[in-house]
């Protein structure tokens, strides 16, 4: 299987993760013009599962290092299967809530708030689960990200000081999604031997098999979680599976593309974790709010007509995010 053999390459992979995690929401915005997010989400999940299989039979099955994808799946213990699967279930619940928040509060608000909270809590969970990197510099970087989140929240509040109950509900859901999302990565990482991808411990998973099991957890849990949301949506009237199958092929493909984009980022994050460590790999990827905010501001014009104060707050947010991510990268090099 393909293995990252340098910290610099691991950082590059994590930056790509950040771009992917911060950009997949655009596919939801595109599909949302004619398609409810509950229906979009089915295609998104299918995209993740399909990409995990594609990756397993390509990068996961090439080279002489580690174990091949199929061989690895055969020897993983039930405990590690359950851990990676549980990560998928937790992620699915949190991400459906995040998707609901995006549909109500907008990309610029939901992503920085929800994913930002997930970053802060997730770094603590992952670092103490598998310590790697300079803790002082790492958590200093996280502190800068926390400040960035606060600046974004203030900016969003000023834009929505006359906010509707829908927007307030979207913000609350984003907070809940962020708390849940902070735990999924650790469950998947716990199923892998992060210290030795070349000769992984028997019964433990490689990044490729762990990601596939994780994707199965997302897919299976979606039959329960998303079905409930379809019948009792946060906003609007209930939607049916009949409506899903009546969707255009091009609309379905937008959702599948969104899942593939997110899946690419997640897979690269787990592959990079062997060199960068779970906490750093996760933290860099969760710089996604900065990318999502850029999309929201410059492409979707979610802050169009904002005051000079709001623009200054947003500028400060970006500076703090960049500074924080820089500190996180440095922490792993020490």
Asked if 97 and 34 count as a contact pair (C-beta separation under 8 A), the reply is: no
Q: Give the global pTM.
A: 0.88
For the chain, where are the alpha helices, taking DSSP H only? 7-23, 25-31, 37-57, 69-75, 78-105, 107-129, 135-159, 165-190, 207-231, 241-245, 249-276, 278-285, 288-294, 308-333
**11/275 Cα distance (integer angstroms):** 9
Nearest Cα residue to 182 out of 98, 292, 275, 80: 98
By C-alpha distance, which of 282, 20, 303, 289 is closest to 147?
289
Nearest partner of 67 among 277, 209, 181, judged by Cα:
209
297: three-class secondary structure by DSSP: helix
**Cα 82 to Cα 76, 116, 187, 191, 204, distances in angstroms:** 10, 27, 9, 9, 12
Question: Using CA atoms, how far apart are residues 206 and 134, in angstroms rounded to an integer?
Answer: 25
Condensed to tens digits (0 to 9), the pLDDT of residues 77-113 reads: 999 999 999 999 999 999 899 878 877 876 667 777 7
Please name which of 44, 45, 72 lies closest in space to residue 56, comparing C-alpha atoms.
Answer: 72
What the block records as the tokens of 283 is 């933290």
How far from 133 is each of 40, 116, 175, 324, CA to CA, in Å?
38, 21, 28, 15
Which structure tokens are listed for 50? 């399909």
pLDDT by residue for the chain (334 residues), tens only, comes to 999 989 999 999 999 999 998 898 889 888 888 888 899 999 999 999 999 999 999 999 998 888 999 999 999 999 999 999 999 999 999 989 987 887 787 666 777 778 778 888 888 898 988 888 899 999 999 899 888 878 877 787 677 654 455 577 888 898 999 999 999 999 999 999 988 888 899 999 999 999 999 999 999 999 999 999 999 998 789 999 999 999 999 999 999 999 999 999 999 999 999 899 888 998 888 777 778 778 878 877 777 788 899 899 989 988 998 898 889 889 987 6
| pLDDT per residue as tens digits for the range 48-84 | 999 999 999 999 999 888 899 999 999 999 999 999 9
Burial of 197 (0-12, 13-18, 19+ CB in 10 A): buried
């Amino acid at each position: 299987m393909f293995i990252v053999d340098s910290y610099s390459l691991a950082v590059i992979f994590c930056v790509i993760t950040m771009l992917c995690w911060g950009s997949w929401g655009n596919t939801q915005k595109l599909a949302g013009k004619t398609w409810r997010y509950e229906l979009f989400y089915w295609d998104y999940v299918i995209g993740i599962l399909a990409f995990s299989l594609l990756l397993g039979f390509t990068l996961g099955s090439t080279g002489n290092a580690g174990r091949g994808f199929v061989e690895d799946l055969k020897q993983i213990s039930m405990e590690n299967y359950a851990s990676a699967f549980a990560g998928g279930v937790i992620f699915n619940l949190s991400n459906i809530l995040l998707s609901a928040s995006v549909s109500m509060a907008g990309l610029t608000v939901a992503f920085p708030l929800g994913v930002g909270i997930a970053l802060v809590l997730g770094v603590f969970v992952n670092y103490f689960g598998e310590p790697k990197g300079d803790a002082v510099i790492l958590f200093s970087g996280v502190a800068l990200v926390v400040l960035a989140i606060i600046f974004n929240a203030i900016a969003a509040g000023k834009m929505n000081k006359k906010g509707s109950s829908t927007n307030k509900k979207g913000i609350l859901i984003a907070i809940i999604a962020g708390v849940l999302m902070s735990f999924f990565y650790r469950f998947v990482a716990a199923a892998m031997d992060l210290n030795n991808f070349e000769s992984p411990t028997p019964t433990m998973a490689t990044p490729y098999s762990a990601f596939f099991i994780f994707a199965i957890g997302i897919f299976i849990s979606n039959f329960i979680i998303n079905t409930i949301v379809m019948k009792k949506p946060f906003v609007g009237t209930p939607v049916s599976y009949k409506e899903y199958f009546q969707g255009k092929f091009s609309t379905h493909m937008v959702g599948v593309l969104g899942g593939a984009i997110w899946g690419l980022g997640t897979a690269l994050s787990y592959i990079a974790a062997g060199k960068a460590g779970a906490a750093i790999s996760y933290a860099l990827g969760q710089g996604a709010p900065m990318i999502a905010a850029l999309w929201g501001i410059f492409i979707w014009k979610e802050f169009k007509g904002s005051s000079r104060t709001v623009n200054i707050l947003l500028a400060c947010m970006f500076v703090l995010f960049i500074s924080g991510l820089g500190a996180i990268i440095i922490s792993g090099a020490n």
